[in-house]
Amino acid sequence: MSVSHRWRKEPGARMEGVRDLDRSKTQAPGIVRVPTGGYRLFYTAVGPARPFPKCQGYILSAFSRDGLHFETEPGIRIAPQPDIPHLSLRILAPFVAPTADGRWRMYFESRGPASMPTVICSAISDDMLNWKLEEGIRIRGQGDARAPRYLPLSDGRARMFFILTERDPISQTTLSQSVFSAITENGLDFDIEPGCRLRDRQGEFDAVGLTAGEAIPPQHSSDTWSMIFSAWQDVPAGTEVPLHPSHDTNAETNGTSEDFAAASIRCDLAGFRSRIFIAESPDGFTWGPSECIVEGGGFASDDLDAIHAEDMSVIRLDDGRYRMYYAACDTKGTWRVLSAVSE
């Protein structure tokens, strides 16, 4: 076994909205170790200080010496670009990795109008603070491509794990939201590999689909690979769920009638639940059964992650354990970034 199946939640929040840039919604973290010491947490946010009225989200950052207490850094790291259709509304789910030439590359989920599939794009930086968008699209699927997780391989290539939404070609009904993968030799050009790495809808807890999957290679030859992933449970039968604003084409053409975050949070609280799971693999390609490792107490709970625990980002600590940063939502609809450590 590479990663423990026992995790202990750490008290308090690592990040929550305290300023006009992130006050409305804070989620989808991405953690990276800073070479000079400490950690930088990238996260998705939206608030009243958004750069333009229809903007639905952007990437912010915070720094910590110990990985527990973070101080926000001023400004927006990457914001949507209204003049680029697939980048025009929302940027989220950042994953930052070093490049061969000593720089940093951020992969992220990029959203435009509801009529366009979500894609994965990238940006480059010398210092992790000032980012330049790279031209083109890194991964595009028939459906939405989301939640990138980049992993260098021992042969010099790298594998991107990501969520791909498969839809019925006629009705456009969502058939699955599962983990797929793509291979690259240069970090820019990716070839999607055949087949699915980890399939959703194996039980009631993942009936709505998976939202992120991060693979962790073995530390020793006798270990297995681990994948930590998050999944959504469906609402109770008969529940009426409001249309999520990211799927509302009228909102994009006529102007939003209300704040994007407030409308999306109403959907979050409609009866869905999300949890974090772990699965194992002998080769990092085919994955076995899963086990729940992080969940909140539900709609009657006071937990900070009572309703949702999802979109985790995992980092190995100096003592060999792992810390997971994850997006969490309580019963009041407040989203934060929390953490848990493996035991």
Both tokens assigned to 264: 């999306």
pLDDT number for residue 223: 85
pLDDT number for residue 175: 79
pLDDT beyond 50 at 188:
yes
pLDDT beyond 80 at 176:
yes
CA distance 329 to 3: 25
Average pLDDT, the chain: 93
Band (pLDDT 50/70/90 cuts) for residue 272 is: very high
CA distance 159 to 215: 10
pLDDT beyond 50 at 255:
no
Query: Are the CB atoms for 117 and 142 separated by under 8 Å?
Result: yes
CA distance 188 to 99: 11
Query: Are the CB atoms for 121 and 132 separated by under 8 Å?
Result: no
pLDDT number for residue 220: 83
Q: Please compute the mean of the pLDDT values over residues 153-175 and round it to a whole number.
A: 86
0.85 exceeded by the pTM? yes
Q: Please compute the mean of the pLDDT values over residues 258-283 and round it to a whole number.
A: 93
pLDDT number for residue 259: 84
pLDDT number for residue 182: 98
- pLDDT tens for each residue of 17-42: 999 999 999 999 999 999 999 999 99
Band (pLDDT 50/70/90 cuts) for residue 202 is: confident
- pLDDT tens for each residue of 239-254: 988 888 877 766 654 4
In 3D space, the residue among 165, 169, 309 whose CA is nearest the CA of residue 232 turns out to be 309
Q: Please compute the mean of the pLDDT values over residues 86-112 and round it to a whole number.
A: 97
Please give the class, per CATH, of domain 7-342: mainly beta
pLDDT number for residue 298: 97
